[in-house]
Structure 1
């Protein structure tokens, strides 16, 4: 990348022109993304020119129909990031490199190669007994609640919402019980700013060791299934794809749980009435996917040839960032939840097309999320926010949507086995 100084908010010298581009890395975008989507829609339409970190130009796809079109046309808007026409301007330590740096994983595979690898994983997920998965999710949720129920207070993101999904996925992966706390710690650390790469490397090493153990002693788990699959996956392919599955399942599901708990604890429509009625957990889960989807924006797609989209000229190799959040709140398609809209699941929260969330991944995520929320409400019927609703802050991120913390209070209870009981 050029070392010449440039004015922040404009592409670096040598980069393609991108008139009127919006620098989406600015704090104001992270503070109020919904307003920024509205502003960009008003100024640019359904596809807006943006600047990513370092003022690298890209396109933000805002319209529901445009996101649907891009995700449905993988030949025109492909996943292999090596097509990007900006690589000569990207430094090795670019903050978004984890999203765009090509790896021979399921994430960047295309066509027959993607079908080979995605098919093997979907086959395993389709064989998961969903009733047993729900029971196991409830068991994990109960164990997490047991750890804080006697205090009468808890912080539901760190102590609960982020804990249950990773522990359930660890079971599907075949990790031993004594390995799970270390996996949970390293996955959490890999998402933080302090030494994330060291933590990520430990997760990689755990996956590689798990794979070797599955080869020696196969079980009813995902690594054993992939090793035996007729697709003939290599160890390196399996390790990389396991990491993709774990990442896709963990933080988005944790934020889905956290966002749903925040909604149910702050919105009077979900409060328990004197008659005992309230809108259901299922309604809250679905509304969150429309209004506060965990995956807000996703890098992305790369144009394979010159084309047009939303009235914009897209050049071959241009990067498109898909705004699932903006698409879901597109005024032309969004449901009216104030009228009690039910069952509308046409949101883009799990993407669409060849590179959508692997089937039946969304069903599995919903089972985990629903069980986690329902167990909490059943165990802690008087749970309430310990702060004012407006004090529940969102994570500062262009990519993910979730509360920083959800502090709550409730009537303390004792767990069977506690001293004196």
Structure 2
């Protein structure tokens, strides 16, 4: 088996129509418009396929449910430590690649194995276990109220940019115990990373503000996840604390906003097109289950690295090359016909499986449920402003994410308005990192700064 630096990470079985073909790109608009067509084509030729995640970044994508479980549940053969990634070590992956923030090694429980993984995961799961569900629901409702007030007087909104995107960002500021300035910078930098905008600078700012937060919480602990991680018997170092927080935001913000937006799209969709009111009678819980099966927020991820060349159902996975799990393709595997007919919650892989299964499944579902119920109850005549077929999906290899979710409704007075809140811009579309209401990355002079979302929220609620 060729393991030279220029070799492909994938070897198809002899006779496979895909043998010798170039990798399929997962980052362009063609894939985003109809990923299921790509998954079906992959599955017709085998249980895995060669892909390109970004220019110059090759990997293998596992698309069959049983094969996905074999990878996810066998850490002795499939490691998560990205320092094994041969192409990155050998300089064959561009250091400014937009996928590196999601794939490069960090000392957190997502990218570690064995006893180190157990130590870090225990700190995370036990800290998350201290969350009070009543308080969590109340926090979600307060943030939702604040965001709805920013657009309810308009009679139109982009529920992705104005609501689903911002709500989890602000919620994590609350859960982490962020003061105003740190929270504004955290919101802006995470938004930039998820949107692939100037990721090197955004990652540097993210690191800076989280290290400031860790130092602050060591001096002034509170009832928040940052303080609980600091106090945990695992004795996490500052760098480890910072990277557990990065992992929690990465695993909680992008998937959460996609879960909320994708479920809202499903509930607001109808066969007759524009401006149709929600009348299907679908329960929010059923919409969330449907999305987790058919449009999972994180579609392709869980990067593993074979510790040696491994034969997986006739496909040779080469050592130290990235192998990703397609949760979306595994969920649509024809072998799951019975489970799919009932949308059995125990069969889909949207939350992962094995030792790295999502540790925040219950809080994540509660957040999405609360956020969706709040917007539907507050704006009861919410309707899509375009036909469902006209809604666009955001390109990218990892997520199943909308570009925007335009809606219309009857305008109503905002319930809470203050001078501070009025300083925040009221976007009518999906905002970009540069439009986040906070100081620019070049740290504009103080008199030119505007309040960020988190600072403005704190001014309104004084939490």
Q: State TM-score, norm by structure 2.
A: 0.81
What do residues 142-186 of structure 1 show as CA deviations (whole Å, max 9, x unaligned)?
111111111111111111001111111111101125643443223
Query: Which of 34, 38, 48 is the matching residue for 1:32?
Result: 34
Partner residue in 1 for 2:324: 321
Partner residue in 2 for 1:66: 67
Task: Determine the C-alpha separation between the residues in 2 that align with 1:227 and 1:22.
Answer: 44
Distance 1:148-1:14 versus aligned 2 partners, 3 A rule: closer
1:390-401 aligned within 5 A? 390-401=389-400
Distance 1:306-1:147 versus aligned 2 partners, 3 A rule: same
Query: Which of 115, 119, 123 is the matching residue for 1:116?
Result: 119
Partner residue in 1 for 2:385: 386
In structure 2, stretches of 5+ residues that fail to align are 12-19, 419-463
Task: Determine the C-alpha separation between the residues in 2 that align with 1:224 and 1:390.
Answer: 45
1:160-175 aligned within 5 A? 160-175=163-178
Distance 1:259-1:223 versus aligned 2 partners, 3 A rule: same
Partner residue in 2 for 1:20: 21
Partner residue in 1 for 2:43: 41
> Contact between 1:76 and 1:303, CA under 8 Å: does it hold in 2?
yes
Compute the displacement of 1:400 (Å): 0.8
Task: Determine the C-alpha separation between the residues in 2 that align with 1:287 and 1:154.
Answer: 24
Distance 1:94-1:145 versus aligned 2 partners, 3 A rule: closer
Task: Determine the C-alpha separation between the residues in 1 that align with 2:120 and 2:300.
Answer: 24
> Contact between 2:77 and 2:307, CA under 8 Å: does it hold in 1?
yes
Task: Determine the C-alpha separation between the residues in 2 that align with 1:335 and 1:200.
Answer: 44
Size of the aligned set, in residue pairs, is: 401
1:6-405 aligned within 5 A? 14-16=6-8, 18=11, 19-25=20-26, 27-43=29-45, 45-54=46-55, 56-86=57-87, 87-88=89-90, 89-177=92-180, 179-267=182-270, 272-273=278-279, 278-333=281-336, 341=342, 344-358=345-359, 361-405=360-404
Distance 1:228-1:344 versus aligned 2 partners, 3 A rule: closer
Task: Determine the C-alpha separation between the residues in 1 that align with 2:262 and 2:132.
Answer: 26
Task: Determine the C-alpha separation between the residues in 2 that align with 1:353 and 1:74.
Answer: 8
Q: CA RMSD in A?
A: 2.5
Task: Determine the C-alpha separation between the residues in 2 that align with 1:263 and 1:378.
Answer: 17
> Contact between 2:85 and 2:320, CA under 8 Å: does it hold in 1?
yes
Task: Determine the C-alpha separation between the residues in 2 that align with 1:304 and 1:200.
Answer: 29
Task: Determine the C-alpha separation between the residues in 2 that align with 1:343 and 1:282.
Answer: 13
> Contact between 1:190 and 1:198, CA under 8 Å: does it hold in 2?
no
Distance 1:284-1:271 versus aligned 2 partners, 3 A rule: farther
What do residues 130-149 of structure 1 show as CA deviations (whole Å, max 9, x unaligned)?
12211221121111111111
SS at match of 1:151: coil
SS at match of 2:151: coil
What do residues 14-70 of structure 1 show as CA deviations (whole Å, max 9, x unaligned)?
324752343224543233211011011112x11223344345543210011111111
What do residues 310-360 of structure 1 show as CA deviations (whole Å, max 9, x unaligned)?
3212232232111111001111115687x7x355342111111111212xx
Distance 1:30-1:279 versus aligned 2 partners, 3 A rule: closer
Task: Determine the C-alpha separation between the residues in 1 that align with 2:224 and 2:297.
Answer: 27
> Contact between 1:47 and 1:311, CA under 8 Å: does it hold in 2?
no
> Contact between 1:12 and 1:55, CA under 8 Å: does it hold in 2?
no
Compute the displacement of 1:191 (Å): 2.6
Task: Determine the C-alpha separation between the residues in 2 that align with 1:391 and 1:167.
Answer: 29
> Contact between 2:339 and 2:347, CA under 8 Å: does it hold in 1?
no
Q: State TM-score, norm by structure 1.
A: 0.88
Task: Determine the C-alpha separation between the residues in 2 that align with 1:371 and 1:245.
Answer: 20
Distance 1:85-1:272 versus aligned 2 partners, 3 A rule: closer
Task: Determine the C-alpha separation between the residues in 1 that align with 2:134 and 2:225.
Answer: 18
Report the more deviating stretch, 12-21 or 129-138. Answer: 12-21
Partner residue in 2 for 1:7: none
SS at match of 2:285: helix
What do residues 115-139 of structure 1 show as CA deviations (whole Å, max 9, x unaligned)?
1111011101112111221122112
